[in-house]
Amino acid sequence: MDVAQIAQRLTQNVERVIVGKHREVQRLLVALLCRGHVLIEDVPGVGKTVLAKATARSLGCDFRRVQCTPDMLPSDITGVSIFNQKTSEFEFRPGPIVAQVVLADEVNRATPKTQAALLEAMEERQITVDGRTLQLPRPFLVLATQNPIEYEGTFPLPEAQLDRFIVRMRLGYPSPEDEMRILDGQRAGHPLDAIEQVASAEDILAAQRAVQEVYIDDLIKRYIVDIVGATRHQADVYLGASPRGSLGLYRTSQAMAAVKGRDYVLPDDVKDMASDVLSHRIIVNPSARIRGVEAASIIEDILGSLPVPGGTVRA
């Protein structure tokens, strides 16, 4: 399985719509190859929904969108059993979570109970309704979005639920040149309408299995553990990353190596993914937040202070 070739086809196809965001598209693909989920935290209008739709169409996968609101119930996501008068039996009608690519738009507007139902499905990859357990389709990717500016009427995700996302990222505003390309590209219609399938769900499942076989040396494993461990002993950190953070960095490093065409992980792969994987898993002290200290800068300081491991000869 040539993971790099599949990654290149998907990236190029999605970038026909998402202009100038190669790094962010690559992060999304890495999360998909790790069987993880992505939290996109950004202002409205920068292309979060379009990114999810373009990814689903490029894979030929089922796509569902959930517009989260305060009055939404867990059954609005998982599904509900309805009594059929003709058969005199209850029939289960699956909710929007039963899809391969799910966009949970403005997830912080849903109540904690509804958020928990969504995030449980993400973790277990199954739902249980009225005693009936239903496995979710594979591959399964949840893209959750939230607005970091508007907090009125929202229910911020607790740290325990943030920890379920393998990657958190921001799209950001495009450059003036890229924004002009966006204007030109949508002059006669939306380029999303022209997106074609360039890979299949079976390709992604095979790529996910191939990523698990990417070699990672014990020295790099120790490097990952040291990075995560350092987040627990920083003066500006109230709570450091958990072992789930180590696993997330381990898996995303494997995926990044495979995307770049290698069957082994380099320290650069770890450093490349560290901020996106760990920054939402640590809690900064209130006094540090007042000084403007952010989690991403703490991760950068840790990477700059820890020695980078060398290499060993593979048998």
Tens-place pLDDT, residues 58-113: 988 888 998 888 888 888 888 887 877 788 777 778 888 888 999 988 888 888 88
Among 169, 184, 204, give the residue marking a domain's end.
204
Which amino acid, 70?
P
In a domain? residue 188: yes
Q: Check whether residue 53 and residue 176 sit in a common domain.
A: yes
Confidence (pLDDT) at 109:
86
Give residue-wise pLDDT tens across range 239-284.
888 899 999 999 999 999 999 999 999 999 999 999 999 999 998 8
Q: Check whether residue 187 and residue 281 sit in a common domain.
A: no
Which region holds residue 49: left if phi is over 0, alpha if psi is between -120 and 50, else beta? alpha
Confidence (pLDDT) at 151:
64
Total tally of structural domains belonging to the chain: 2
Whether the per-residue pLDDT at 285 is higher than 80: the answer is: yes
Q: Are 67 and 145 in contact (CB under 8 A)?
A: no
Which amino acid, 203?
D
Q: Check whether residue 31 and residue 137 sit in a common domain.
A: yes
Confidence (pLDDT) at 28:
92
Whether the per-residue pLDDT at 214 is higher than 90: the answer is: yes
Distance of CA 84 to the CA centre of its chain: 38
Domain that holds residue 186: 3-204
Confidence (pLDDT) at 33:
93
Confidence (pLDDT) at 313:
53
Burial of 247 (0-12, 13-18, 19+ CB in 10 A): middle
Residue 264: strand pairing partners: 215
Cα separation, 114 vs 132, in Å, equals: 19
Cα separation, 156 vs 146, in Å, equals: 9
Q: Check whether residue 239 and residue 190 sit in a common domain.
A: no
For 145-154, 158-167, 234-243, 253-262, which range has the lowest pLDDT when averaged over its residues?
145-154
Q: Are 57 and 232 in contact (CB under 8 A)?
A: no
Alpha helices in the chain (DSSP H): 3-14, 22-33, 48-59, 75-78, 112-124, 159-162, 176-185, 201-212, 218-230, 243-259, 267-278, 286-290, 295-305
Q: How many CB atoms lie within 10 A of CB 98?
A: 21
Q: Check whether residue 144 and residue 281 sit in a common domain.
A: no
Among residues 102, 114, 109, 181, the alpha carbon closest in space to that of 144 is found at: 102
In a domain? residue 314: no
In a domain? residue 260: yes
Give the pTM. Answer: 0.88
Give the domain CATH number at 285. 1.10.8.80
In a domain? residue 310: no
Whether the per-residue pLDDT at 314 is higher than 60: the answer is: no
Q: Check whether residue 181 and residue 220 sit in a common domain.
A: no
Confidence (pLDDT) at 130:
73
Distances in Å between the alpha carbon of 311 and those of 7, 208, 221? 27, 26, 12
Confidence (pLDDT) at 225:
95
Q: Check whether residue 18 and residue 161 sit in a common domain.
A: yes
Q: Burial letters for 197-210: b for 16+ Cβ neighbours within 10 Å, e otherwise? A: ebbebebbeebbeb
